[in-house]
């Protein structure tokens, strides 16, 4: 099973780029990316 760090390193950039493309707002894309990982960690913990 992948560690949380491995998951983050693998998916952070694609998720950020998805949200940035969707919103066109760098800060909002960062916030949504962080929230996504918060929810992932909360779900698997």
DSSP-assigned letters across all residues of 1-45: ---HHHHHHHHHHHHHHHHHHHH--HHHHHHHHHHHHHHHHHHH-
Chain segment 1-45, per-residue pLDDT in tens: 678 899 899 999 999 999 999 999 999 999 999 999 999 989 987
- In this predicted structure, what is the pLDDT of residue 22? 98
- In this predicted structure, what is the pLDDT of residue 36? 97
- In this predicted structure, what is the pLDDT of residue 42? 92
- In this predicted structure, what is the pLDDT of residue 15? 98
Tokens of 1: 């099973």
- In this predicted structure, what is the pLDDT of residue 1? 62
| Degrees, nearest 5: CA angle 42-37-24 | 145
pTM, rounded to two decimals? 0.86
């Amino acid at each position: 099973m992948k560690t949380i760090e491995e998951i983050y390193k693998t998916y952070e950039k694609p998720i950020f780029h998805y949200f940035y493309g969707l919103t066109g707002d760098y800060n909002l894309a960062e916030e949504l990316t962080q929230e996504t990982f918060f929810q992932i960690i909360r779900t698997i913990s």
